[in-house]
Amino acid sequence: MVINRAHARYIIRFLRQLPEEVTDLFVCCSKGGSRSPGAAAAILRMSGRSDREVWDNPYYVPNWLVYQTMCREFGLFAPHWYVMHLVRRNCRCYKKLVENNGVCKYERWQIID
């Protein structure tokens, strides 16, 4: 399932309704693939925190469309060229891990050339 603007608005409304006592949020999707890290990165950015912990983690493959849609609906700068820069950075992190014979604890959900 692809995210659309209505989905993004629903997630943003949900986040705004959370009580201030909520400090941790578990983000998951039905398949456990790339939508979760895409949403998590956008949520971090929306909250004023850095999304680098998601984009720079070689074990995640954030779905760029989820990230971009959520950021845009929240009113954050997310043009295509910027999001593609993040995707390339994530790919470099993964390739570096593989080149250094890093053991992947989790599978990546996309094939990277």
Q: Whole-angstrom Cα distance, residue 57 to residue 34?
A: 13
Q: Output the pTM of the full model.
A: 0.85
Q: Whole-angstrom Cα distance, residue 69 to residue 79?
A: 10
- Length of the chain, please? 113
The model's pLDDT over 33-90, given as tens digits with 9 standing for 90+, comes to 689 999 999 999 999 999 999 999 988 899 999 999 999 999 999 999 999 999 999 9
The model's pLDDT over 22-39, given as tens digits with 9 standing for 90+, comes to 988 988 877 666 899 999
CB 81 within 8 A of CB 34: no
